[in-house]
Amino acid sequence: MVPKDDQPLELSIVMPCLNEARTLEACIQKARNFSQRAEVHGEVIVADNGSTDGSVEIARNMGAQVVHVAEKGYGSAWMGGIAAARGTYIIMEDSDDSYDFLHLEAFLAKLREGYDLVVGNRFLGGIRPG
């Protein structure tokens, strides 16, 4: 997802993070895989809200931009990550691997069509055990 110097960033994928070491690497890799497959120039931003479990190091090692957000809370982490985003479009995903980063095409397509906000529903069709 690293753009060429002369190309603007189209997409910023922002992930709030508080002690997500168990799932963060998989989320960043899926975001990168999507971007490569879709040929999207962008960035991954991990908005860290005070992790103590190695999440920050994982994010850096994976090449994500880490934004430290001092004000506690999920909303604060979102706002800090969004403020740092440089892409034309922003897609927000949790870093606990509860969403599928590999299927962002529909979101990006609607954003490209001019929609201001696109919302997904991970519970569409019901919630299965496990």
pLDDT tens profile 2-18: 445 567 899 999 999 99
Residue 38's domain comprises 11-106
Whether 119 is in a domain gets the answer no
Whether 4 is in a domain gets the answer no
Whether 124 is in a domain gets the answer no
- Residue 4's pLDDT is what? 53
Question: Mean per-residue pLDDT for 22-40?
Answer: 94
Question: Mean per-residue pLDDT for 23-36?
Answer: 95
Helix (H, G, I), strand (E, B) or coil at 90: strand
3-state secondary structure 28-49: HHHHHHHHHHHCCCEEEEEEEC
Using a pLDDT cut of 70, give the percent of the chain over it.
91
Whether 37 is in a domain gets the answer yes
- Residue 2's pLDDT is what? 47
Whether 59 is in a domain gets the answer yes
Check which CATH number belongs to the domain holding 77 and give it: 3.90.550.10
